[in-house]
Structure 1
């Protein structure tokens, strides 16, 4: 797993949200949360599992909407940040944070209504194993995102200390088939890679995002998009 030691560092966990989702990064946070909510639908009284929950951005959001949610991550410091976030939001009683391996989920088959993972598959050395496990423990929806090979992300990837696994459209569709899942919907976004938005202030990020979104709606949008969201069912 790429970056396993890096993500488990306490200083990384403490600074994670601030470095990625402040300034122009707020636009990324907003879009990712929108994508999750669109995919999972109403979650009140639903049993949900988040893989690689990190600092609990989505875990807490869904708990606030009534989900009975479990957040699993390999990083103890990230989970601690999530617990503190849940306490501040007053939803700590409806979230279970667990440290564990996404390749060997400690749950029976069909245990959750929905299973999802964000910011995870770009780190996966063996994506088929992880997606198959997600499908095994879900009885309905499996949702995840990927970074795309034929996009501006491929250029930005050279600057990253540990790189990312990038996916082509056909590769993801094959993974979905191999996991026994049916693809319901796929969306593609962010012609400008995440790294740009995180480095610029709001007054620059906003207009760039407007242009990015407009270009993304054209026929060139899908092949050039750096991020894809995949909604599937078991």
Structure 2
């Protein structure tokens, strides 16, 4: 199945609200639990690229109170809801939200101990600049944890996944998930991009029936 691009930024207020309302709790918690296994609980600087409404960094901060997490996104409305979520969790001193393009980050070289990202890659027409920025801002021995959707082989599989995982959602939410699956990359495409970006010692694998993961321990 050919890749069909979707907008890079989900920036309407309605899209942000509907995205935050979708129940990703189980997936987000599993993501956070995987992340904390990659680095020791000692103080660390973390970058979350494409944080959305900050649900994942909230889970991470609750489990790792010594970590400082910088969260970036290009959607002002996502960040507005994220700020509300962080305030409700009482984590304003630990999580910093910034409106920044992950393809052109202002941070110095070798700045972060760990870079994470959930579901940003499929939004990018060309993820290579983003992956090259990860290599630049990450410390040489730093950890990486990236996860995103896999593009299915056929529209029939897309329909099946939407029915299975978004069956209880409204029509707009179902369409968002469907569009994201069409915009995703195959495992082979992800491996090729990571190699081209010069990211080394990365384990790339299919982590569910709809996700790929790329990781490296600190």
Change (3 A) 1:27 1:86: closer
The corresponding residue for 1:188 is 206
Confirm or deny: 8 A CA contact 1:3 1:123 kept in the other structure.
yes
2:58 counterpart residue number:
60
Runs of 4+, deviation exceeding 4 Å: 150-154
| Normalised TM-score (structure 2) | 0.77
> Pairwise mapping of residues 128-207 of structure 1 onto structure 2 (< 5 A)?
128-139=128-139, 140-150=142-152, 155-156=157-158, 160-161=178-179, 164-191=182-209
Supply the distance in 1 between the matched residues of 2:91 and 2:28 (Cα, whole angstroms): 20
Secondary structure of 2:201's counterpart equals strand
Structure 1, unaligned runs of 5 or more: 192-225
Aligned equivalent of 1:112? 112
Q: TM (normalized to structure 1)?
A: 0.72
Distance 1:68 1:31 in 2: 20
Shift of 1:156: 1.4
* Deviation for aligned residue 1:148: 2.3
Unaligned stretches of 5+ in structure 2?
163-174
Cα distance in 2 for residues equivalent to 1:34 and 1:152: 31
Compute the displacement of 1:153 (Å): 8.0
Task: Give yes or no for contact 2:46–2:115 (8 Å, CA) kept in 1.
Answer: yes
Determine which structure has the larger helix proportion and give its number. Answer: 1
User: Any idea what the Cα deviations from partners look like across 1:90-143, whole Å, max 9, x if unmatched?
Assistant: 110122100011110011101111111101111111111110011110011222
| Alpha-carbon spacing, 1:109–1:233, altered in 2? closer, same or farther (3 Å) | farther
- Number of residue pairs the alignment of both structures matches: 194
**CA offset at residue 52 of structure 1?**
0.4
